Structure 1
Amino acid sequence: MNANLRRLLGDVDALLLDFDGPVCSIFAGYPAPQVAAELVDVLRQHGVDVSPELASEPDPLEVLRRTGAAGDQGVTRAVEEALCAAERRAVETAEPTAYGREVIVAARQSGMPVAVVSNNSAGAVSAYLAAHRLDAYVSPVVGRAYAHPDLMKPNPVPILQAAFAVGVPSSRCVLVGDSLSDIDGARLAGMRVIGYANRPSKAETFRAGADVVIASMGEIAGALIERIDH
């Protein structure tokens, strides 16, 4: 058992989870590059001159981010709508992360509130949680601010919103995330952070910013179950 992880979980009162990664792989059955290409088509339909670099962008969230940065709110809303619809379809074939469910249930059984803070839309996250009978365990769901991609993580605003909603100071919360935007956002929010290195290449990158780095959500589940047993 990871002693640092056990200590960290003993020092916090609330668990915040990123969605895509720690809970599930949202685009497992509806690949992210396909969604990104569909968003690029929306840009073209709105008369946007799409650069070759943006045309080949595989991350739909990055397409939205760059659209927002370009400053046309009408176009940003159109891309946001298309992405929300795609995410709602994607969660129907999302692949649950091994031990993601056990982490959520064990945290609640140990008395910790659990929130999801995601750059995906709250509607898609909530639909997934309901379909997998996890909605009773998770509150709140803080998703991407509608048509304001500048407020996505690493912006700390959604992370602070989740901490406020669970009624726990950010210094007594821990965020579990699988990206540098999660780690950087948690740091800006004054929060502890567990880096979930779901690919080995991420582990070294995460070590500089995360309090603890794990390779499996099972590590958190095990530490929480041990906490319940004691």
Structure 2
Amino acid sequence: SPAARSGIVAELERLLAAEEIRAAASAEPTPYADELVQRLHATGHALAVTTNNTAGAAEAYLERRGLAELFRPHVHGRVTEPWLLKPDPDCLHRALRSTGHDAAMALMIGDSSADLLAARAAGVRFLGYARD
């Protein structure tokens, strides 16, 4: 039944979110990322997170790094509609709305082709990086 499927989906989302939050407890930052974020904030740039993970996992990671206040309330995570995950630009559109900034003035820093495609679709400049 649709109600049973809905309950199963909700339970799977709850379990996935819990695992993502647990993984955030041991996630390591990209070298110099903390310093970059702090410098951007100190020079007046609005900061936002856009992730295909749950917003709670991103918030837990930022809290552990002492960076949460630099991003609040602009942490945009996975929504219930899977077709709105990156590379769809939905999360970037939500970030732009929440910060009140225009896409032409924004820069997305990302590490995946999905990030690049989302930025292009949103009309946002993109800076890619690789961990290794």
Q: Which has the higher contact order (CA 8 A, sep 6+)?
A: 1
Which amino acid letter does the alignment assign opposite residue 114 of structure 1?
Answer: L
- Quote the sequence identity (%): 37
Contact preservation (8 Å) 1:117, 1:159: yes
Report the count of equivalent residues: 127
- 1:93 partnered with 2:20: no
Contact preservation (8 Å) 2:49, 2:71: yes
Map residues 1-230 of structure 1 onto 2, 5 A cutoff. Answer: 72-139=5-72, 140-145=74-79, 147-199=80-132
CA RMSD in angstroms comes to 1.3
Correspondence for 1:59: none
Q: In structure 2, how many angstroms separate the alpha carbons of the residues matched to 1:120 and 1:171? A: 25
* Structure 2 residue ranges without an equivalent (≥5): none
Q: In structure 1, how many angstroms separate the alpha carbons of the residues matched to 2:82 and 2:68? A: 25
* 1:181 Cα deviation from its structure 2 partner: 0.5
* 1:96 Cα deviation from its structure 2 partner: 1.9
TM-score between both structures, scaled by the size of structure 2: 0.89
Q: Deviations over 1:118-167 (max 9, x none)?
A: 1111011111111221011113000111x322211111111011011111
Q: In structure 1, how many angstroms separate the alpha carbons of the residues matched to 2:116 and 2:50? A: 12
* Structure 1 residue ranges without an equivalent (≥5): 1-71, 200-230
Q: In structure 1, how many angstroms separate the alpha carbons of the residues matched to 2:10 and 2:109? A: 29
Contact preservation (8 Å) 1:155, 1:185: yes
Contact preservation (8 Å) 2:30, 2:131: no
> Highest Rg: 1 or 2?
1
TM-score between both structures, scaled by the size of structure 1: 0.53
Contact preservation (8 Å) 1:104, 1:138: no
Q: In structure 2, how many angstroms separate the alpha carbons of the residues matched to 1:121 and 1:156? A: 16
Q: Deviations over 1:164-200 (max 9, x none)?
A: 111110111010110010000010001100111224x
* 1:75 Cα deviation from its structure 2 partner: 3.5
